[in-house]
Structure 1
Amino acid sequence: MADVKNKVAENIEGVFYVENEFITCQKCIDEAPNNFKMNDNGSSVFVFKQPENDTEKKNCEEVMDSCSAEAIGNDG
């Protein structure tokens, strides 16, 4: 389970976040590209935009639930 105390610094403020225990499988980027992206040097994934509609929220929840590293959290 993701720990809000270990958020990646690049996360935008809001309920969804990625913590620093992630693995670079890029599943979150592939399945929710409107909300997740890799930083410039490829060392971390982060939430760059919080979901703004039901589809984006559903995609973020599905990615969070299927994250094998359990590195995506919802603080809402």
Structure 2
Amino acid sequence: MGDRTLRYKDNVEGRWYTDQKCILCSVCAELAPANFREAQTNDHDIVYKQPAGETEELQCLEALEACPVEAIGNDGATQR
């Protein structure tokens, strides 16, 4: 799981984020395109929108589990 002390500043405010371990594989953006995308600096992915609703929440959880470097964080209870 992501490390909040390494959280990228360009993530949108909220409990989901990517951290500095991100290698820009973009698996998160493939699995949860409504919430993750490549940063403007083109060197990491970010959360650009916090999940809204169960579908987006589940997609973000799938991205977290699929991240090969554990760079996705979720600081809070999962909405159900």
Q: Percent same amino acid at aligned positions?
A: 38
2: CA distance, partners of 1:63 / 1:75: 15
Is 2:2 the partner of 1:12?
Answer: no
**Aligned residue-pair number:** 76
- Name structure 2 gaps, 5 residues minimum: none
**TM-score, structure 1 as length reference:** 0.94
- What is the CA-CA distance between 1:40 and the residue it aligns to? 2.2
- Name structure 1 gaps, 5 residues minimum: none
Which stretches of structure 1, 4 residues or more, deviate above 6 A after TM superposition?
Answer: none
- What is the CA-CA distance between 1:2 and the residue it aligns to? 1.3
Structure 1 counterpart SS, 2:65: helix
- What is the CA-CA distance between 1:65 and the residue it aligns to? 1.0
What is the Cα-based RMSD across aligned positions, in Å?
0.9
Structure 2 counterpart SS, 1:46: strand
- What is the CA-CA distance between 1:47 and the residue it aligns to? 0.4
Structure 1 counterpart SS, 2:17: strand
Residue type of the partner of 1:31?
A: L
- What is the CA-CA distance between 1:23 and the residue it aligns to? 1.2
